[in-house]
């Protein structure tokens, strides 16, 4: 009896030992994957925060002037400039694919030509949409905004912000040009330097010299153009490793074909994902306009704009992880490692939720203080404090939702996310917000509350898809996409690191890896990391 018990005890010890080893191995793999994700996400987060902060800081300083000035800047940033931003982003989308393909194929000179063609097209587009800035007061009134806010946003601010529109037209092609070459740190350092200058001159012109909204327009315009000039100087001085060979008349060759290619690329390959992003943008824009229709619209618009600013800063962190997980899922599926792709989703989801919880706690702890960073009005601060509870939970949900969207992009589920957005934002969210906000008198809190609907809907559906779909089917999906966009040869079983890290913000680029004796130039379905270490073959798997 005693002899029989010995092996049982030994087996128990062996099981405990195996479990301990498995746990240690899992922790090591978690740390390794987390390190790779942060390696991708860190420059993305830094650049996004710096560029987002330009408009957010302008809004912060305008809140120290008057309630009307804060409302004017909020409406212009969200509606007028936001519309221009979306149009410029959409028109410049195809350049990412073209530059990535040219760089991967070694046709460096074509990167400069493509960038110049995109400049021509986007500058013409800027001229076409510039009347929106000129006629912004009647446009805002048409959507129901009050005369006071419409005139302040249009006549006192939007009309002076037209240089920013043309800066967008120059900046987007430059960013795609640099991203294709893995030179994202250049954008990060330029954005950081400009942000410091922007903060100082905003304080000087808006508060110290009392230039008001004109000072806000001057600093914001100059800041965006400094970003453009700084990046251009880098390109002109370094020649971007041969990608820039000077201005060329080729930029004006086949412009119509380039436009058609841009539109076709945007519609065929990018439309559903861009629609997903655009729906979120338009939802927030409509939310601002709806809030302006409530009683006491100045305070309502100011309060919800402050909350959106805080939410926007937090969202920049999530956007960085969005790019990172999109890269990881794409790379691993392309390499035939669906299990590792799933593990990456687990790691980034846990990391994002932890960050979201920390940010939510910070919002709750500072709810009586952070409104005064944006306004000197007690009424606006009190209204913002009332929204802090909803803001905190929104921050938490926002920490996960963009990550799941990144998974959808990497796995080829863009259409699903787009349909979820349509249903959550427009079929359910806005009608319910209008009904409760106006008919039942819940006011601005309901408008802000209904940001939860798309977040919850997308989270539940994406999580369901991630847990129920066969990841092995995604390997074949990724392979088909690779072939569709023009792989030179199928992916090999391994990848090895051949270059420095970088981050590509949007949905298409290139990965330039070496597998065995030949080179694979692969255009994946989503944001792709050039020179990033792909799958490192490990025994046992995860």
DSSP string, 198-217: HHHHHIIIIIIS--HHHHHH
- Residue 295, both tokens: 């009683």
Residue-number span of the structural domain to which 509 is assigned: 480-522
On whether both 342 and 313 belong to a single domain, the answer is: yes
Partner residues linked to 514 by β-bridges: 496, 519
Q: What is the spatial distance between Cα 218 and Cα 201, in angstroms, rounded to a whole number?
A: 9
Q: What is the spatial distance between Cα 70 and Cα 156, in angstroms, rounded to a whole number?
A: 12
What pLDDT, on a 0 to 100 scale, did the predictor assign at position 194? 96
Give domain status of residue 268, yes or no. no
Give domain status of residue 7, yes or no. no
Q: Which of 80, 187, 92, 183 is nearest to 134 (CA)?
A: 80
The span from the first CA to the last CA of the chain, in angstroms, equals 40
Where is 238: in which H helix or E strand? Answer: helix 212-238
Q: Which of 224, 153, 230 is nearest to 189 (CA)?
A: 230
On whether both 449 and 508 belong to a single domain, the answer is: no
What pLDDT, on a 0 to 100 scale, did the predictor assign at position 118? 83
Where is 403: in which H helix or E strand? Answer: helix 388-411
On whether both 473 and 500 belong to a single domain, the answer is: no
Give domain status of residue 469, yes or no. yes
Q: What is the spatial distance between Cα 269 and Cα 101, in angstroms, rounded to a whole number?
A: 15
On whether both 441 and 503 belong to a single domain, the answer is: no
Q: What is the spatial distance between Cα 542 and Cα 525, in angstroms, rounded to a whole number?
A: 24
What pLDDT, on a 0 to 100 scale, did the predictor assign at position 232? 93
Give domain status of residue 292, yes or no. yes
Q: Which residues contact 453 (CB under 8 A, 6 or more apart)?
A: 424, 425, 428, 429, 432
On whether both 53 and 145 belong to a single domain, the answer is: yes
Q: What is the spatial distance between Cα 337 and Cα 334, in angstroms, rounded to a whole number?
A: 7
On whether both 342 and 324 belong to a single domain, the answer is: yes
What pLDDT, on a 0 to 100 scale, did the predictor assign at position 190? 94
Q: What is the spatial distance between Cα 200 and Cα 504, in angstroms, rounded to a whole number?
A: 30
DSSP assignment letter at 526: S
On whether both 420 and 352 belong to a single domain, the answer is: yes
Q: What is the spatial distance between Cα 270 and Cα 73, in angstroms, rounded to a whole number?
A: 31
What pLDDT, on a 0 to 100 scale, did the predictor assign at position 193? 95
The residue from 422, 451, 477 where one domain ends is 477
Q: How far is CA 476 from the centre of its chain?
A: 27
Radius of gyration of the chain (CA): 25
What pLDDT, on a 0 to 100 scale, did the predictor assign at position 433? 62
Contact between 344 and 332 (Cβ < 8 Å): yes
Rounded alpha-carbon distances, angstroms, from residue 258 to 102, 265, 442: 15, 10, 50
Q: Which of 85, 44, 40, 503 is nearest to 319 (CA)?
A: 44
Q: Provide the Cα torsion 280, 286, 291, 293; round to 10°.
A: -170
CB-CB neighbours of 203 under 10 Å: 16
Q: What is the spatial distance between Cα 238 and Cα 223, in angstroms, rounded to a whole number?
A: 23
Give domain status of residue 12, yes or no. no
Q: What is the spatial distance between Cα 89 and Cα 182, in angstroms, rounded to a whole number?
A: 20
Contact between 378 and 295 (Cβ < 8 Å): no
On whether both 337 and 377 belong to a single domain, the answer is: yes
- Residue 330, both tokens: 């794409």
Give domain status of residue 28, yes or no. no
Contact between 502 and 523 (Cβ < 8 Å): no
Q: Which of 265, 330, 285, 322 is nearest to 90 (CA)?
A: 265
Residue with tokens 């926002």: 398
Give domain status of residue 79, yes or no. yes
The residue from 477, 495, 512 where one domain ends is 477
Tens of pLDDT along the chain (542 residues) come to: 444 444 444 555 556 666 677 777 888 888 888 888 888 788 878 888 898 889 888 988 988 888 788 888 888 887 788 778 777 776 766 676 567 666 666 777 778 888 888 888 889 889 988 999 999 888 888 877 778 888 888 888 989 999 999 999 999 888 878 876 767 788 889 999 999 999 999 999 999 998 988 999 999 999 999 999 999 999 999 887 777 877 777 666 666 655 655 554 444 334 334 434 444 444 444 454 455 445 555 676 677 778 777 877 887 888 778 777 776 776 677 667 778 888 888 888 898 889 989 999 998 898 888 888 877 778 878 878 887 887 888 788 777 777 777 777 656 665 666 667 667 666 766 676 666 655 655 554 444 444 444 444 444 444 444 443 444 444 444 333 333 333 323 333 333 332 333 222 233 333 333 333 223 223 333 333 232 333 333 333 33
On whether both 443 and 380 belong to a single domain, the answer is: yes
Look at the pTM and tell me if it is higher than 0.85: no
Give the chain's domain count. 3
Q: What is the spatial distance between Cα 345 and Cα 352, in angstroms, rounded to a whole number?
A: 10
Number of H helices, E strands in the chain: 22, 2
Q: What is the spatial distance between Cα 203 and Cα 540, in angstroms, rounded to a whole number?
A: 58
**SS3 category, 287:** helix
Q: What is the spatial distance between Cα 126 and Cα 534, in angstroms, rounded to a whole number?
A: 39
On whether both 331 and 285 belong to a single domain, the answer is: yes
What pLDDT, on a 0 to 100 scale, did the predictor assign at position 82? 77
Q: What is the spatial distance between Cα 60 and Cα 75, in angstroms, rounded to a whole number?
A: 14
What pLDDT, on a 0 to 100 scale, did the predictor assign at position 18? 66
On whether both 397 and 447 belong to a single domain, the answer is: yes
On whether both 187 and 109 belong to a single domain, the answer is: yes
Give domain status of residue 286, yes or no. yes
């Amino acid at each position: 009896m005693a002899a029989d018990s010995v092996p049982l005890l030994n087996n128990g010890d062996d099981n405990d030992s195996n479990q301990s080893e498995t746990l240690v191995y899992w922790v090591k793999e978690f740390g390794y994957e987390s390190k790779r994700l942060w390696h991708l996400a860190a420059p993305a987060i830094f650049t996004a925060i710096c560029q987002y902060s330009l408009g957010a800081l302008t809004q912060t300083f305008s809140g120290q002037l008057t309630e009307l000035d804060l409302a004017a800047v909020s409406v212009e940033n969200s509606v007028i400039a936001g519309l221009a931003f979306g149009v410029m982003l959409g028109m410049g989308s195809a350049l990412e694919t073209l530059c990535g393909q040219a760089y991967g194929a070694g046709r460096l000179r074509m990167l400069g030509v493509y960038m110049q063609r995109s400049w021509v097209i986007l500058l013409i587009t800027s001229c076409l949409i510039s009347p929106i800035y000129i006629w912004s007061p009647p446009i805002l009134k048409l959507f129901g905004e009050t005369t006071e806010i419409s005139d302040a946003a249009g006549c006192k601010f939007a009309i002076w912000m037209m240089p920013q529109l043309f800066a967008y037209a120059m900046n987007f092609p430059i960013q795609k040009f640099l991203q294709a070459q893995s030179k994202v740190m250049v954008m990060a350092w330029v954005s950081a330097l400009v942000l410091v200058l922007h903060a100082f001159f905003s304080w000087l012109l808006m508060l110290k010299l009392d230039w008001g909204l004109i000072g806000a327009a001057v600093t914001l315009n100059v800041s965006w153009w400094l970003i453009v000039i700084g990046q251009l100087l880098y390109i002109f001085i370094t020649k971007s490793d041969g990608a820039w060979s000077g201005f060329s008349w080729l930029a004006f060759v086949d412009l119509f074909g380039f436009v058609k290619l841009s539109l076709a690329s945007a519609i065929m390959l990018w439309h559903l994902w861009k629609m997903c992003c655009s729906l979120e943008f338009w939802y927030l824009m409509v939310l601002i306009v709806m809030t302006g229709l409530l009683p006491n619209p100045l305070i309502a618009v100011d309060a919800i704009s402050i909350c959106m600013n805080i939410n926007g800063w937090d969202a920049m962190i999530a956007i960085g992880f969005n790019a990172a997980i999109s890269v990881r899922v794409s790379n691993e599926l392309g390499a035939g490692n669906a299990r590792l792709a799933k593990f990456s989703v687990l790691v980034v989801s846990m990391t994002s939720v932890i960050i979201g919880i920390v940010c939510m706690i910070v919002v709750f702890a500072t709810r009586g203080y952070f409104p005064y960073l944006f306004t000197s009005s007690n009424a606006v601060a009190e209204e913002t404090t009332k929204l802090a509870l909803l803001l905190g939970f929104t921050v938490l949900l926002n920490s996960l939702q963009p990550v799941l969207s990144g998974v959808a992009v990497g796995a080829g589920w863009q259409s699903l996310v787009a349909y979820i957005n349509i249903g959550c934002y427009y079929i359910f969210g806005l009608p319910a917000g209008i009904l409760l906000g106006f008919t039942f008198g819940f006011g601005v809190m309901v408008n802000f509350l209904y940001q939860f609907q798309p977040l919850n809907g997308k989270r539940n559906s994406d999580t369901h898809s991630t847990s129920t779909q066969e990841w092995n089917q995604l390997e074949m999906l990724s392979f088909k996409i690779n072939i569709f966009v023009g792989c030179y040869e199928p992916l090999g079983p391994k990848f090895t690191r051949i270059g420095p890290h970088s981050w590509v913000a949007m949905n298409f680029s290139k990965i330039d890896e070496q597998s065995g004796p030949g080179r694979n130039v692969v255009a994946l379905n989503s944001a792709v990391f050039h020179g990033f270490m792909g799958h490192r073959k490990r025994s046992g798997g995860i």
